Amino acid sequence: MARKKVNLAWIANDSTRRATFKKRKKGLMKKVSELATLCNVKACMIIYGPQEQQPEVWPSAQEAARLLERFKNMPEMEKCRKMMDQEGFLRQRAAKLQEQLRRQERDNRELEVSLLMHQAVAGRSLYDVNIEDATSLAWMVDAKLKSVQDRINQQTTQLALRSAAEASATAQVTAKNPMEMAMDSLQRQNWLLDAMHPSENVIFGGGGGEEIMPIPCVEHNSSWLDLYFPFN
Amino acid sequence: MARKKVNLAWIANDSTRRATFKKRKKGLMKKVSELATLCNVKACMIIYGPQEQQPEVWPSAQEAARLLERFKNMPEMEKCRKMMDQEGFLRQRAAKLQEQLRRQERDNRELEVSLLMHQAVAGRSLYDVNIEDATSLAWMVDAKLKSVQDRINQQTTQLALRSAAEASATAQVTAKNPMEMAMDSLQRQNWLLDAMHPSENVIFGGGGGEEIMPIPCVEHNSSWLDLYFPFN
DNA sequence: CTATCTATTATTAGTAC
DNA sequence: GGTACTAATAATAGATA
């Protein structure tokens, strides 16, 4: 979290990874300790280092065993409800990203519509927007969507890494969803065309139309957001 | 961690505590998840909320059980070595504070000595420092030491709270040590007097001397740093 | 209670020793 | 390998809706 935004992936460099491990483990211990103090909760944590035989245990081996025992003795039915395990945690985060994406889309739509309105006020018809305007609009949209895209990619990477580690088929299916859904979402964004030319000539994702000139694509990490613009 | 420095103690207000619990639990989960990803470590965490029956378990109940089992199956001898449990964690933090205190003392000594040297250069003998100079010196020293003192007090509070919660006699003994040791350390700080009047008339912590006038004490949270200054 | 916002504190990545 | 420092990112307390 300093000097550079952390890339949420396995750190290849040995000494860097060890240093990070030490620092973050310390930070975690502190945070668990604080949570326990502030909220008077019973908590425990066990961390097995990369090559180490002894795990770090907080607050003590006895307490950890006690808590786990208490958990294991619960009826199975109860266990599954409301439990925040890894999958649920990631699923929740993915859902939240979806929601953020939705809001971002709405904001973008509003922003772009008002921009177009402004251009109209400047003396031209909405139907007169030229190729330069459309290109700049495309870049503007891209800048906004890119930030969302990055977050989704990051999330997807994390999910993929985790599922690889766990070798769980279920997790893998889950892992792909956020990206797929996000891309679907992005590709459904033909609202820009709607705003520009609400009647016809709007073609996206194939389908036969009339004379159409594609605006140069805006590249994303692993996909494309294609914006087509019909002009005379 | 925002708007106000967090007071590391049980949050009395119910809704505030619940909000904090939710936020921090989420933050913890994220951090454990990140540590696992970044360093490829096996880790688990179990948190029992204040009133809740179900604990939050990360990454999953199965993994938690697996890790704890692995730990319980280790030879007893191995368990105790190098294990970072609650007591060891706090002990380590206390030790680090001691070290910081030591360095602060050294820095203070250097700072004050150079200040005195400056006064000497200004045309007066070291032995001519008057009562005003000494008082201001005392305040300056206090300002620096106070910051150290505060950190120690905070640490002590945390230790005390924790030991109360655990009702462990051993922990309580441990809890008192940092403060006691720190105060001992502070009270041994007669170096200011040494610097001012290296030969004699320096009396601290009792003992018979000659004509000595005490400079008004500088109050600390729960103790006093008395500075005596001999003058003609 | 849930969610969002933001000013502030806390954590830490990279660096230097 | 460790410790110390600092600039930058991340977490979050308190407020608001």
- The Å distance, CA of B194 to C1' of C10, is 39
Nearest chain A alpha carbon to B6: A38
Q: Which two structure tokens, joined as six digits, stand for A173?
A: 């299916």
Residues 6+ apart with CB under 8 A from A78: B53, B54
* Contact assessment for residue A195 and residue A209, using Cβ atoms and an 8 Å cutoff: no
B104 compared with A164, residue with greater pLDDT: B104
Mean per-residue pLDDT for B65-70? 85
Q: Which two structure tokens, joined as six digits, stand for B143?
A: 């300002």
d(CA A161, CA A175): 9
| B219, β-bridge pairs | B224
Pairing of strands B213-219, B55-58: unpaired
Mean pLDDT, chain A, integer: 63
pLDDT given at position B149: 60
Contact B74 A54 (CB under 8 A): yes
Which H or E run contains A48?
strand A42-48
d(CA A204, CA A228): 7
Residue A56 confidence class, pLDDT cut points 50, 70, 90: confident
What's B167's DSSP letter? Answer: T
Amino acid at A18: R
Burial of B57 (C-beta count, 10 Å sphere; 0-12/13-18/19+): buried
pLDDT given at position A11: 95
Instruction: Indicate the SS3 state at residue B123.
Output: coil
Which residue do the tokens 């956020």 mark? A178
In angstroms, what separates the C-alpha of B17 from chain A's closest C-alpha? 6
pLDDT given at position A206: 39
| B45, β-bridge pairs | A45, B58
Which H or E run contains A194?
helix A191-196
Lowest average pLDDT, out of A54-63, A148-157, B54-63, goes to: A148-157
d(CA B176, CA B29): 33
Instruction: Indicate the SS3 state at residue A31.
Output: helix
Residue B104 confidence class, pLDDT cut points 50, 70, 90: low
Which H or E run contains B104?
helix B86-121
- Which residues between 115 and 154 in chain B have a beta carbon less than 8 angstroms from any beta carbon of chain A? none
Question: A12: Cβ under 7 Å from strand C?
Answer: no
Which residue do the tokens 């420095």 mark? B5
Dihedral pair phi/psi, residue B182, rounded to 5°: -65, -45
d(CA B30, CA B156): 29
Amino acid at A151: R
**Per-residue pLDDT at B66 exceeds 60:** yes
d(CA A110, CA A147): 18
- Which residues between 166 and 225 in chain A have a beta carbon less than 8 angstroms from any beta carbon of chain B? none
pLDDT digits (tens, 9 = 90+) for B152-204: 566 555 555 555 454 443 433 344 454 554 444 444 444 433 334 334 333 33
Question: A102: Cβ under 7 Å from strand C?
Answer: no
Lowest average pLDDT, out of A42-46, A174-178, B50-54, B87-91, goes to: A174-178
Residue A72 confidence class, pLDDT cut points 50, 70, 90: confident
Mean per-residue pLDDT for B12-21? 95
d(CA B226, CA B141): 11
Which residue do the tokens 């500075």 mark? B227
Q: Which two structure tokens, joined as six digits, stand for A216?
A: 């140069």
Residues 6+ apart with CB under 8 A from A105: A185, A189
**Per-residue pLDDT at A228 exceeds 90:** no
